[in-house]
Amino acid sequence: MERLTGIGVSPGVAVGPALVAIQRTQVLRFPVGPDGVARELSALERARQRSHSQLEQIRRRIAAARGADLAAIFDAQLLMLDDPILVGRAAAVVRNERVNAEWAVQRALDEAAAVFDDIDDPYLHERKGDLHDVAGRLRMNLREDKGGARDRLQDLDAPCVLIADELTPSVVAQLDWTRIKGFATDAGSRTYHTAILARSLGVPAVVGLHDVSRRVPPGASVIIDGETGDVVIDPTPALWQEAEGRATVSRFAIVAPEESGPLQTMDGHPIVLHANIERSDDVPSALGAGAQGIGLYRSEFMLVGGPPDMAAEDEQYHVYRQLVERMEGRPVTIRTFDVDERQLARPLVDAALDARWFPEPQRSGHAGLRGVRFGLAQPRIFKTQLRALLRAAAHGPLRIMFPFVSSVQEVRDARTLLLEARQELTSRGIAVPEVPVGIMIEVPSAAFTASLLAREADFFTIGTNDLIQYTLAVDRTDDRVSNRYEPLHPAVLRLLRQVRRAATHEGIPVSVCGEMASDPLLLKLLIGCGLREFSMTPGAIPMARRVVRETSARQMVRVATRVLTLGTVEEIERYLEDEIAKNEVGSEG
Ligand code: PEP
Ligand code: MG
């Protein structure tokens, strides 16, 4: 038995086996039973075989297009895939520790990468990238096989307690809180979102435990006491029994709501909630969660693992058309490929794989030839996509959106290519409807010139994930500064207000599609800043609906006005927490 003490941020007691989620690598670690071990091992083998044939296919294609030298890169990857260092070691981890295969692959990768690090040889250092690629491909194939974190959670026999290094809103939103009795995290002092989130979910929570995610073995029995801040690992039977008697029944559970109709704040302001998705297969979960449309379709994901001609116009057209049709008349905003220069050196189909493998902050951490810049530099690829989009627009309300815009000139140039794409279709005898063309505001230069850009675009979507990191010059992958990634930084809030005002002034719609919108507290503040449309990961929508209904827009406008006069993140956080807490007490009373 071991007792750790952190900061209790949401009262109540939770008991159960531990589900350990490590966000750093975006991999969930969870225990599997004896049957589960065999299942995980065969999933691992299937993923290996699938990865093998994908790599073979890529190698053949590259050999044909670019010659044998370049293709040899993939020989190295094939060898790694068959080397016991990765898959063999992962299988051993599954067997010995009785954990899921995806986690085991991550563990094998970390160990192998550490060995490469220790060897002072530039050639081997370069091979580390290949190792990451191969492990990424394996994990991708494992995920395809077994579904997302939420599906995996359904495999657990009993409800559990969640132990995590940190909890970001998007992960919280993916989880099925009917099965999670409470949570404990390494991170967090009085971190606003974790505390508010726990209270809003009505689940016991302890934060600021520093290394609880390393100390708790997956599946271990854990007691979380959100009042005292105690977390007990492997308690005595007597303690367990006593805690079970005090265990809290969660006040709320986030489950997909049955309702999905129009939504408004407590004081009657209409709010629109759309979903961010990557595949048209995500449509049922978006609709099930209550999405009123698709606010961001990350089209680059469409290229993942597909056949080489996946990016052909007809293939794309079918994907977009299917998406629009599945949404049955609801609006769909498709973002053109947001791939970057590192990926340009490789064939496009493989390029997009990187986007899938890298954790979110990492893949959006590049300021090179990406987004609309990529499109302008590769007009053939860009126009192929634009033609496919224009054709699909005949089947439903589709909007085209350019990512990573940083100047008016780029928008004009992109629109010129769009016009050419339209003319090419017309000359083929294909009629094309009018399609709204919007831009993502995710680069500070775009935010600063929002009033000029608003005259060039039919709508704005604010991508706070990138906007925050570029405004604050914080690379989220760099541990030394990642704690400075502050959505509540006064600079970020001022920019958001400026963009919203520019859009209102020109009479164009503006929405927010970054992760910021799926944090309950920040969502309230965004409503206070005058924003009314949001797009988020489907899992976050049920919670956001509840937050919206419990929010007074009038109160939040007053709060936001005051927030914008405060100088530090800490002051803003404290003020917001106090105001929201007053409101919570007020509405309960
Ligand atoms: C963003 O930058 O906020 C955004 C939604 O785009 P992505 O996360 O795909 O970079
Ligand atoms: Mg972005």
Calculate mean pLDDT across residues 114-123.
Answer: 76
Which pairing describes strands 230-233 and 294-298: parallel, antiparallel, or unpaired?
unpaired
Calculate mean pLDDT across residues 568-577.
Answer: 91
Q: How many CB atoms within 10 Å of residue 522?
A: 24
For the CA of 338, the closest atom of ligand 1 is 9
Which among 77-91, 277-291, 360-374, 422-436 has the top mean pLDDT? 422-436
**Which of 276, 356, 401, 465 is the pocket-test mutation for ligand 1 (most atoms within 8 Å of CB)?**
465
pLDDT at 35 over 80: no
- Kindly list the distances between the CA atom of residue 265 and the CA atoms of 357, 461, 474, 577, in Å, as whole numbers in the listed order: 37, 21, 34, 19
pLDDT at 193 over 90: no
- Kindly list the distances between the CA atom of residue 20 and the CA atoms of 104, 216, 335, 560, in Å, as whole numbers in the listed order: 13, 8, 34, 36
Q: Which ligand is nearest to the CA of 296?
A: 1
- 375 contacts 417 by C-beta, under 8 angstroms: yes
Kindly state the DSSP code that residue 290 receives in the 8-state scheme: T
pLDDT in tens, 417-464: 999 999 999 999 999 999 999 999 999 999 999 999 999 999 999 999
Atom 3 of ligand 1, residue of closest alpha carbon: 463
CATH superfamily for domain 269-512:
Phosphoenolpyruvate-binding domains (3.20.20.60)
**Which of 276, 364, 402 is the pocket-test mutation for ligand 1 (most atoms within 8 Å of CB)?**
364
pLDDT at 323 over 70: yes
pLDDT at 358 over 60: no
Calculate mean pLDDT across residues 253-269.
Answer: 73
Q: Which of 160, 193, 269, 529 is catalytic?
A: 193
pLDDT in tens, 366-377: 677 788 998 898
Atom 4 of ligand 1, residue of closest alpha carbon: 463
In the chain, pLDDT over 90 holds for what percent of residues? 46
Torsion sign over Cα 432, 434, 440, 443: positive
For the CA of 360, the closest atom of ligand 1 is 8
Confidence of residue 309 (pLDDT cuts 50, 70, 90): very low
Q: Which ligand is nearest to the CA of 513?
A: 1
pLDDT in tens, 158-176: 788 999 887 765 566 556 6
Which pairing describes strands 27-29 and 160-164: parallel, antiparallel, or unpaired?
unpaired
- Kindly list the distances between the CA atom of residue 133 and the CA atoms of 138, 142, 476, in Å, as whole numbers in the listed order: 9, 14, 21
Confidence of residue 345 (pLDDT cuts 50, 70, 90): very low
pLDDT recorded at residue 268: 97
pLDDT recorded at residue 399: 98
d(CA 92, CA 162): 25
Calculate mean pLDDT across residues 350-362.
Answer: 39
Q: Which ligand is nearest to the CA of 462?
A: 1
- 348 contacts 311 by C-beta, under 8 angstroms: yes
At 455, phi and psi to the nearest 5?
A: -85, -15
Say what the pTM is. Answer: 0.69
pLDDT in tens, 227-257: 899 999 999 999 999 998 888 765 444 444 4
Q: What class does CATH assign to 31-150?
A: mainly alpha
Three-state secondary structure of 137-190: HHHHHHHHHHCCHHHHHHHCCCCEEEEECCCCHHHHHHCCCCCEEEEEECCCCC
pLDDT at 271 over 90: yes
Q: Kindly give the distance from the C-alpha atom of residue 503 to the centroid of ligand 1, in angstroms, as a whole number.
A: 19
Residue found by looking up tokens 């927030």 in the block: 563
Give the pair of three-digit tokens for residue 294. 């698709």
Give the pair of three-digit tokens for residue 272. 């629109």
For the CA of 298, the closest atom of ligand 1 is 9
Give the pair of three-digit tokens for residue 396. 């439903």
Q: Which of 160, 274, 513, 529 is catalytic?
A: 513
d(CA 275, CA 61): 35
CA quadruple 354, 357, 362, 366: dihedral, nearest 10: 10
Mean pLDDT, all residues of the chain: 83
Q: Kindly give the distance from the C-alpha atom of residue 465 to the centroid of ligand 2, in angstroms, as a whole number.
A: 6
Calculate mean pLDDT across residues 47-59.
Answer: 87
Let me know if 513 is a catalytic residue: yes
d(CA 207, CA 227): 12
Stretch among 72-76, 92-96, 264-268, 483-487 having the lowest mean pLDDT: 72-76
CATH topology assigned to domain 2-27+156-246: Glucose Oxidase; domain 1 (3.50.30)
Let me know if 366 is a catalytic residue: no
d(CA 77, CA 419): 42
Residue found by looking up tokens 């189909």 in the block: 349
Give the pair of three-digit tokens for residue 168. 């970001």
For the CA of 465, the closest atom of ligand 1 is 3
For the CA of 364, the closest atom of ligand 1 is 10
Atom 6 of ligand 1, residue of closest alpha carbon: 463
pLDDT at 190 over 80: no
Calculate mean pLDDT across residues 106-133.
Answer: 80
Confidence of residue 102 (pLDDT cuts 50, 70, 90): confident
- 44 contacts 142 by C-beta, under 8 angstroms: yes
For the CA of 276, the closest atom of ligand 1 is 5
Domain-wise residue ranges, the chain: 2-27+156-246, 31-150, 269-512
Q: Kindly give the distance from the C-alpha atom of residue 465 to the centroid of ligand 1, in angstroms, as a whole number.
A: 5
pLDDT at 269 over 80: yes
Atom 10 of ligand 1, residue of closest alpha carbon: 364
Same fold, 2-27+156-246 and 269-512: no
Q: Kindly give the distance from the C-alpha atom of residue 94 to the centroid of ligand 1, in angstroms, as a whole number.
A: 34
Who lines ligand 1 at CB under 6 A?
A: 296, 298, 338, 364, 442, 463-466, 513-514
Q: Kindly give the distance from the C-alpha atom of residue 194 to the centroid of ligand 1, in angstroms, as a whole number.
A: 22
d(CA 211, CA 216): 9
**Which of 513, 519, 533, 537 is the pocket-test mutation for ligand 1 (most atoms within 8 Å of CB)?**
513
